[in-house]
Structure 1
């Protein structure tokens, strides 16, 4: 049995293409791997605060020096990190907002990219500690950006995953969604075909 952690980051709770891709992924994954355990964390429902002084204090100060807010921030970071550490498969649902990822997803990454926990510094530079995990990134985009200079999602998320040791990363892009019905249909058809193949 594998554990699958799904991170939803769309601000839209209805009519979200990335959420539809996630639903399709989960349905197909469950059909192919019925014994697997799937956990969904919805960042629009349970919002993760931005990196702030409380979180930095929680990480860096001894426990007996924590303020109440620093202790709460550390507890939140521990919860999110423990979910990631326990997962065998990570699924990130990431609509494109202004050429990048949603700020909610960036906040989640800021809580789980932790020195000494998900990566460590060595004399040869940073080393990821989460080797052996797989990741799937499901994106939705109004235009067509994959492989182009305005795609700041895939390079960033590949780097973030590699930084913590996850090198087996598959991107599935639903693109052209705001370019008219023909482009949108092609974009969704391509994404769904890729989803069916990976599950």
Structure 2
């Protein structure tokens, strides 16, 4: 049976997080399709990884026999995360927009798993693996909106996950999530609700379709 690697990075619980609500809907549909499958879960907000340091970074470019004890420890953590990713058949990432980009906890995970010559590059060990990203945001960054061009979640993750790592990237984008709590956005609540409902539906449909594809 297929294995799903599920990462959440929202600061808030499912009740207060648009991205977690949608990743939960995806995971539920996935588990229904794969009752005997495996889900590996990391809550990067509740259990953040340490930022990549010089020892962990330099170890990726050094001969294994020449690593210092500090490098060995730091690189072992990176390899654990990489092997977790390599073993997964599909990946699900909750990536809410904070200050027009991704949470620092998700960036830390990316910094650990990007290893030139292994996960990154022409011979990437994870090339072609499907990844679904739930990129929620408080406002709208669509063409024609005042904030058009200020989205550094989709653009960044497409570049890193798609271009650098060779993953097959698909996005689900719940937007206007601040409308219910921001009086200045109250008139946008119907649009927020439509986006929320569409995202939840997309999550369930895409999870089922992906599960069926991997089972074929």
**TM-score, with structure 1 as normaliser:** 0.88
The equivalent residue for 1:182 is 190
Which string of whole-angstrom CA distances, capped at 9 and with x for unpartnered residues, describes residues 71-130 of structure 1?
Answer: 22101100000011111101110010011111111111111110121123xxxxx55342
Specify which structure has the higher proportion of strand.
1
1:1-199 map, 5 Å = 1-13=1-13, 15-120=16-121, 126=122, 128-146=124-142, 148-162=148-162, 163-166=164-167, 168-179=168-179, 180=186, 181-199=189-207
Per the alignment, do residues 70 and 119 of structure 1 end up closer, same or farther by CA in structure 2, a change over 3 Å counting? same
Point out where structure 2 has 5 or more consecutive residues left out of the alignment.
180-185, 208-216
The structure, 1 or 2, with the larger RCO (C-alpha pairs under 8 Å, 6+ apart) is: 2
**TM-score, with structure 2 as normaliser:** 0.82
Specify which structure has the higher proportion of helix.
2
Moved over 6 A (4+): none
Given that 1:130 and 1:164 are in contact with CA atoms closer than 8 Å, whether structure 2 keeps it comes out as yes
SS in 2 for 1:137: strand
Given that 1:177 and 1:183 are in contact with CA atoms closer than 8 Å, whether structure 2 keeps it comes out as no
Given that 1:177 and 1:184 are in contact with CA atoms closer than 8 Å, whether structure 2 keeps it comes out as yes
Q: CA RMSD in A?
A: 1.8
